Structure 1
Amino acid sequence: MRLHRLSLTAFGPFAAAQEVDFDELSEAGIFLLHGPTGAGKTSVLDAVCFALYGAVPGARQSPGASLRSDHAAAGTFTEVCLELTVAGRRLEIRRRPAQPRPKKNGQGFTTERAQSWLREYDAKEGAWKALSRSHQEIGEEIAQLLGMSRDQFCQVVLLPQGDFARFLRADAEARGKLLGRLFDTRRFAAVEERLADRRRAAEQQVRAGDERLLAIAHRMEQAAGATAGDWPPPRQ
């Protein structure tokens, strides 16, 4: 996955529209997101997560928590837009959380429902193509392309505020499942299963061979009768 551009409006501490050009930042190969406490570093990561999954990490998604900036103008929608390339496809995801807006007729506010848009860039036509406005469809598409749930993405990719330590403290089975999905270890699992099948088949052949040898030994013992003398009897 490669991020190209992130724009956010009335999101977290950002009252006005802000844009992050990841392509420009990535020209140096690596970049650092830094700033004083409260500058909005975590909010940038939250915006990426919200664009991808329609939710932000951990406790910041708790009931009653608002993604909307307290400093935004009443008529400005809280919105996040992320342009990225994943699995060879260039996509644009735009999301708005549920939020209050001034009533069109009369005084007061009404709640604007959450909205999502997904588009894909068609290189042949040189234009964006609308794919879906369904939260569920977009969520399933992104989860399938990334191969991770929101919790897994936050633990392994974003690693915000101590979540990496929580990942390290997770039990071996949980980490194994997650890393297996991240690095697509299904082919190794298939080889392991194939070898296990061959081991079981070989064990069965050995048991069958032992049984045949034992049966032959019993027949030899019966045929020898008293002439067998002190020969030891066949053993299982």
Structure 2
Amino acid sequence: MRPIRLEMSAFGSYAGRTVIDFSNISGGLFLVTGDTGAGKTTIFDAITYALYDRTSGGRRDGNMMRSQYAKEGADTYVEYTFSYQDQVFQIRRNPEYLRAGKRRGKDGEVRMVREAAKVELIMPDGQVFRGKKRETDQKIIEIMGLTAEQFTQTAMIAQGDFLKLLLAESRERKKIFSRIFQTEVCSRVQEELKKRA
């Protein structure tokens, strides 16, 4: 998967509409840097949320991702465009959230309206995938060939795990990689082969 464009609106630490254009970056490796609190993790959360309806660390679901700094009437959504196997896909997903309604109540107060969670998948031919949310989520998994857990273990290493990895002794690194890539089964097979030899 190669990111092309990411648009976030009132999502996480981004109060307004923010667009990241990955298409101008050559190579295939991206480095996201910045000060603590600058919104780096939110970028990864947005990509994972668009694909899998959850955040990159798995600790928060999409309903928790509406920006606390968003204006009352702002729409909360993530739109992610990516290429996979030379085909371009676009996903637009929004969590369930409360926003200011367009009409006021009889007393003149702003009425809050519940926006339902939605997902839309645009296929390479430009057609919107026809299916309910669950079917669309399943189609995205089918396209990616990875579940959310597999994606976060291989495509994104959580910030805390990376720091542990940098500071760990080699035996500890082995444990961390084993957990990230779920290679415990391979270790057990290796041990069994040693016993038989």
In 2, Cα distance between the equivalents of 1:172 and 1:89?
34
Q: Which residue of 2 aligns with 1:224?
A: none
- 2:83 partner amino acid: T
Query: How far off is 1:175 after superposition?
Result: 8.8
- 1:58 partner amino acid: G
**Could you state the TM-score of these two structures normalised by the residue count of structure 2?**
0.76
Unaligned runs of 5+ in 1: 123-127, 177-236
Q: 2:130 aligns with which of 111, 115, 132?
A: 132
| Residue aligned with 1:158, SS | coil
After superposition, give the CA deviation of every residue in 1:60-97 in whole Å (9 maximum; x if it has no partner). Answer: 3169x710111111111111000011233211000000
Q: Which residue of 2 aligns with 1:221?
A: none
Query: Which structure shows the bigger proportion of residues in helix conformation?
Result: 1
Query: Which structure shows the bigger proportion of residues in strand conformation?
Result: 2
Relative distance call for 1:80 and 1:175 in structure 2 (3 A) is farther
Relative distance call for 1:175 and 1:4 in structure 2 (3 A) is farther
Q: Could you list the structure 1 runs, at least 4 aligned residues long, displaced by more than 4 angstroms after superposition.
A: 163-167
Q: Which residue of 2 aligns with 1:215?
A: none
> For 1:57-206, what aligned pairs fall within 5 Å after superposition?
57-61=56-60, 66-105=64-103, 106=105, 107-122=110-125, 128-132=126-130, 134-163=132-161, 166-169=176-179, 170=182, 172-173=184-185
- 1:45 partner amino acid: F
In 1, Cα distance between the equivalents of 2:100 and 2:56?
29
Relative distance call for 1:28 and 1:148 in structure 2 (3 A) is closer
**Could you state the TM-score of these two structures normalised by the residue count of structure 1?**
0.64
Query: How far off is 1:54 after superposition?
Result: 1.2
Q: What's the RMSD between the two structures over aligned residues? A: 2.5
In 2, Cα distance between the equivalents of 1:75 and 1:175?
53
Q: Return the index of the structure with the highest Cα Rg.
A: 1
Unaligned runs of 5+ in 2: 166-175, 189-197
Matched, 1:14 2:14: yes
Asked which structure has the greater RCO (Cα within 8 Å, sep 6+), the reply is 2
In 1, Cα distance between the equivalents of 2:186 and 2:61?
24
> Residues 95 and 116 of structure 1 are in contact (CA less than 8 Å); yes or no, is this contact kept in structure 2?
yes
Corresponding pairs, count: 169
In 2, Cα distance between the equivalents of 1:140 and 1:134?
10
Identity of aligned residues (%): 33
> Residues 95 and 118 of structure 2 are in contact (CA less than 8 Å); yes or no, is this contact kept in structure 1?
yes
In 1, Cα distance between the equivalents of 2:39 and 2:187?
30
Query: How far off is 1:168 after superposition?
Result: 2.7
- 1:112 partner amino acid: E
Relative distance call for 1:175 and 1:162 in structure 2 (3 A) is farther
